[in-house]
Amino acid sequence: MDFLKPRYTPMNRRRRIYEGKAKVLYEGPEPGTLIQHFKDDATAFNAKKHEVIDGKGVLNNRISEFLFQHLNDIGVPTHFIRRLNMREQLIREVEIIPLEVVVRNVAAGSLATRLGLEEGTQLPRSIIEFYYKNDQLNDPMVSEEHITAFGWATPQEIDDIMALAIRVNDFLSGLFLGVGIRLVDFKMETGRLWEGDMMRIVVADEISPDSCRLWDIKSQDKLDKDRFRKDLGGLIEAYTEVARRLGILAENEKVQTGGPRLVQ
């Protein structure tokens, strides 16, 4: 009766669907599911800068799980089903919309540069921007006109994406404010989830300190990937601090990054 036992497919035998800069997607255990694996790779400036930072994937897996689970709980639909282990989560397979949706509350990064604003200036209201996901073109900024003309999303889908982005921003801003962190800006991705003949847009990919700007409210310290982009050091300590404030890690807990190491 061996065939009745659940099958466990070891990771190296699972079918790899896609490998990105910081994550790998594998075929999931059931149709319509995928496994999202978080790597330790950190890249910036379209992968011109690259480093492997021990433990980053584990922290992002936990932080993204926490944020997506809360979004699911308040009725913001996401692709997230559940975390499987230290580096992996089970997600619903969606058709990724090729847009990076950036929401900004405070001037920083490319907006500060583009418009000559001082970093840290509160914006008159939250601003949503779209970038076309295309590494060869360096993810150029695009407008709704480009998105509809080239068929990346319909006007109705853009409305849905913007409504989702505002809900995610309001939820995350409040959540982080409660633990002494200012949500300066973040990037999210969306996908089409098919349920029979019905389709809805859901939040996909990850939301983690890799894809947000998070500043300590008192000290203004950066607790996000700008530590890597700007060579400030202390990235793992910063991500650990975010996890600890969110109550994901106990006071003195450190992330376990792997099993015993082979010493060569």
Which residues, 112 to 141, sit near ligand TMP by CB under 6 A?
A: 139
- Please tell me whether residue 182 binds ligand TMP under the rule CB under 6 A: no
- Please tell me whether residue 212 binds ligand TMP under the rule CB under 6 A: yes
Q: Which span (71-79, 172-180, 185-193, 240-248) binds ligand TMP, by CB under 6 A?
A: 185-193
Task: Give the count of beta carbons closer than 10 Å to the beta carbon of residue 107.
Answer: 21
Q: Out of 29, 77, 98, 109, which residue is the one contacting ligand TMP (CB under 6 A)? A: 109
Helix axes 56-73, 155-177, angle to 10 degrees: 110
Q: Which span (67-75, 181-189, 199-207, 234-242) binds ligand TMP, by CB under 6 A?
A: 181-189
Cβ(62)–Cβ(85) below 8 Å: no
> To the nearest whole angstrom, how small is the minimum distance from the Cβ of residue 229 to ligand TMP?
8
Cα separation of 213 and 225, whole Å?
7
Residue 144 neighbours by CB under 8 Å, 6+ apart: 130, 155, 158
- Please tell me whether residue 87 binds ligand TMP under the rule CB under 6 A: no
Q: Out of 66, 80, 176, 186, which residue is the one contacting ligand TMP (CB under 6 A)? A: 186
Q: Which span (24-32, 60-68, 106-114, 234-242) binds ligand TMP, by CB under 6 A?
A: 106-114
Contacts 24+ apart (CB under 8 A), 225-233: 225/42, 225/44, 226/109, 228/42, 228/44, 228/49, 228/51, 228/53, 229/44, 229/45, 229/49
- Please tell me whether residue 187 binds ligand TMP under the rule CB under 6 A: yes
Positions touching ligand TMP (CB under 6 A) are: 102, 108-111, 139, 185-187, 211-213
